[in-house]
Amino acid sequence: MRMTTHDIAQQLSQPTSKLLEWLYEQYAQRWYGTATTRWGLDADSAWDVIYKTLDTLLAKRTSLPTDPPAHFENYLFKVFINNLRQCLREQARRHETMRLVPMNRDSMAEPYTDADDPAELALSDQTYEQLLAAEETHTQPMLARLEAALAQLDETDQSLLLLKAQQFSYDEIAQMLSLENNQLKVRHFRAKQRLINLFNQTQP
């Protein structure tokens, strides 16, 4: 059963220790699995990312978005991903490599076709569905292009892409975003195509 705005508000009004316990129970294992399985972090690094995420959320508890509930879920996921990316950057500096985190927004970047020429990178519909599982090497120019493209989508389309990338069903997404499900699949397709076009139009 998905949380309502009221449910989230009730949890956020708890004492800090209770809120921390709730956040941990709700999200820690999910984040741990994501960090270790999808992006290959070791256990210590994964828990470090999780604890930093929890600290950030506790510090911002009074300003966390709660309506609609999807915005709350999206915000938590983005805080986690930002900390995960920071951890990967630190590891990259140590190992002189860079792996771009395929998150909701960043997950839509296509792997290198020519590692020596970032300008040749492009996003296509054919590769889009495979990107979440990809663990290819990327660089900062691609991330900048992706951020620029996503910034041009409206908030609902961004949330739709994010939630679908996290394997939520269309029924669940419709409920979370307060949208009609009968056109949601079409809207997702159009948002995906627009993102692809905007990404490919963005100068590297």
Tens of pLDDT, residues 7-18: 888 888 989 999
CA distance 79 to 82: 5
What per-residue confidence (pLDDT) applies to 166? 62
Tell me the pLDDT band of 37, cut-offs 50, 70 and 90. Answer: confident
pLDDT at 124 (0 to 100): 52
pLDDT in tens, 116-136: 333 334 555 444 443 333 334
Please indicate whether residue 46 or residue 160 has the higher confidence score (pLDDT).
46
Distances (CA, A) of 131 to 108, 113, 117, 180, 202: 6, 14, 20, 27, 19
Contacts of the segment 66-70: beta carbons below 8 A, 24+ positions apart: 66/5, 66/8, 66/9, 66/12, 67/5, 68/5, 68/176, 68/177, 68/178, 69/2, 69/3, 69/4, 69/5, 69/7, 69/8, 69/176, 70/159, 70/163, 70/173, 70/176, 70/177
What digits encode the pLDDT tens for the residues 90-116? 776 555 333 334 444 444 333 333 333
Domain-by-domain residue ranges, the chain?
1-97, 100-204
> When comparing pLDDT for 180 and 2, which is higher?
180
> Coil, strand or helix: which one is 202?
coil
Give 69-88 pLDDT, tens digit per residue: 878 888 888 889 888 878 87
pLDDT given for residue 78 in this prediction? 84
**Between 1.10.3720.10, 1.10.1740.10, 1.10.1750.10, 2.60.40.1120, what CATH number should domain 1-97 receive?**
1.10.1740.10
Upstream peptide bond of 68 is cis (omega within 30 degrees of 0) = yes
Which of the four pLDDT bands, split at 50, 70 and 90, describes residue 201? confident
When the pLDDT of each residue in the chain is averaged and rounded to a whole number, the result is: 73
20 or 199, higher pLDDT: 20
